[in-house]
Amino acid sequence: MNIAKLTSDDLPLFLGITSDLFPDVDVPAIDYDEIIGYITKEVIKLKLQPIPLILTKVIELYETMNSRHSTMIVGESNTAKTVTWRVLQQTMTSMKNDKKPGYAAVHVYPINPKALSLAELYGEYNLATGEWHDGVISSIMRKTCSGKDTVCILYISRPNSIYKVLGPGLFVAVNWTKSTDSRYFLTDDSPDTKWILFDGPVDVDWIENMNSVMDDNKVLTLINNDRITMPKQVLLLFEVQDLAAASPASVSRAGMVYNDYKDLGWRPYLQSWLQGFQGKPKFVEEMRKLFNAHVDATLEFKRRKCEDLVPVPELNAVQSLCKLLEVLATPENGVQFTGDVDMFANICRIWFFFWYNLKKISHMSGLIWSICASVNEDSRYKMDNFIREIEGTFPIRDTVYEYFVDSRIRSFVSWEERLPPVWKIPPKTPFYKIVVPTVDTVRYEYIVSSLLNNRFPVLILGPVGTGKTSMLQTVLNSLDKEKYSVLTLNMSAQTTSKNVQ
């Protein structure tokens, strides 16, 4: 229980202290061979890597949820939190299907509590009619927590209606019409395990109302005086980044499982990505060489020498690099093995370093891409010197940021070559729609359009007046109208979930 909540740096210290305090005590090992076998199968089904971290965290989550009815998986983004509970869910369901004793199928009911108001979460009265409307949490708990042994109270607002009991927790008015305002609800009374998943930041506004559910009372009390008791087959699971906004009362009521990125790293993701190129063994070999040779060194240089404008997790940067290579390192751009090993290795290296470097300058227009997208202006020159030390094929003129790969000559060419030699304002164009093409607009339109055409999400951010809207509108107008339709949403800090819907 204690090991699951410790960081990778604190775990050796804890084990050393316990071994000093209890030198002659041998902790018996629990035989998890059978469940580990199922976990490994489920991880492979998800096209992931069954590394020790995943196996360990799934077992720790299993042990914690067996002893606590409220569990929190804590960790930064991209630390396999979702993978941990999803693998455990599918593992227990598979063992139930194979009729293994002691295991039940698991159903998950996800909620994003941060995206909803308190009234939308727990319910509210209609001020005009006085009618009660359940929220998301109360509706899910009514469905999952009302079983065969639960006493269901039916609120009848039409005394003249005739009601018929169809099953546990299910009522219907025999003489029901559209004007009848009686309400009824469905419940899930199966013996399967139900997880109510709270996927989002812990906020003191809503988490405090769950304290009575998280403690031994296991009762949710609503403002209309309804009390919903949570049975043993219903468990609460929280997937959060940190507990900075949680009170000690909330933290002490839940079991903890901490996922540390130091135990994960970026190599399992790279291996899963390369599995998608099983028909291209030479490409896989070259990419693995390039990643192993340069990614760690650049990440370390960035940590020690560079300053970030926008914090980007390491794994997210590597994911972006992989996506860009997937988009543009294609046979159409010359990345195709034709028998010449040296030529193929050279073109792979050129494309790798092109995207490897281009991401470093993309913060100028706000594109969040890869390894060093978030470094500031001074750090760009440091990264330029660093890259030139390990890759000498860039032209001497300007910095490495000013070049793209020309697939025809298989070499770096200045972005200025992509500018139109003669440019005139299109006739009858309003002044506010005039966009003069520059190296920056050509570069970023090329990147964004390449990603969108391959259905990868794009985030563009930057100060006011840096051309984000103009550049994006140009890209969206160039998309195939038969394949894509554009929906524009203006969002701000005052935007609510109702506005989005």
pLDDT digits (tens, 9 = 90+) for 104-163: 999 999 999 988 889 999 999 988 888 999 999 999 999 998 754 333 334 434 444 444
Average pLDDT over residues 379-383: 79
Give the C-alpha distances (Å, rounded to integers) separating 157 from 161, 162, 489.
Answer: 9, 12, 40
Helix (H) or strand (E) holding 262: none
Under DSSP, is residue 361 helix (H, G, I), strand (E, B) or coil?
A: helix
Contacts for 457 with CB less than 8 Å, ≥ 6 apart: 451
Give me the phi and psi of 423, to 5 degrees please.
-130, 130
Mean of all residue pLDDT scores within the chain: 79
pLDDT at 385: 81
DSSP state for residue 332 in the 8-state scheme = G
Position 190 confidence tier, pLDDT thresholds 50, 70, 90: low
Architecture of domain 114-243 in this structure? 3-Layer(aba) Sandwich (3.40)
pTM attached to this predicted model:
0.79
Q: Measuring CA to CA, which residue among 200, 239, 242 is closest to residue 114? A: 200
Predicted local confidence at residue 446, as pLDDT: 82
Of residues 355 and 128, which shows the higher confidence score?
128
Average pLDDT value for residue range 50-60: 92
Average pLDDT over residues 444-468: 83
CA–CA distances in Å: residue 472 to residues 13, 83, 142, 335, 451: 51, 33, 45, 28, 12
**482/66 Cα distance (integer angstroms):** 52
Q: Is the pLDDT of residue 501 over 50?
A: yes
pLDDT band (50, 70, 90) for residue 82: very high
- Of 272-281, 337-346, 353-362, the range with the lowest mean pLDDT is 353-362
Does the pLDDT at position 406 exceed 80?
no
Task: Provide the greatest CA pair distance for the chain.
Answer: 89
CA–CA gap between residue 302 and residue 48 (Å, rounded) = 28
CA atoms within 13 A on the CB side of 185: 20
Query: Would you say the C-alpha torsion 480, 482, 483, 489 has a positive or negative sign?
Result: positive
Q: How far apart are CA 289 and CA 416, in angstroms?
A: 31
Positions of E strands within 46-178 = 70-74, 106-111, 124-125, 132-133, 163-167, 170-173
Is-contact 150 168, C-beta < 8 A? yes
| List of long-range contacts for 288-295, beta carbons under 8 Å, 24+ apart | 290/348, 290/349, 290/352, 291/318, 294/352, 294/356, 294/390, 295/266, 295/321, 295/371
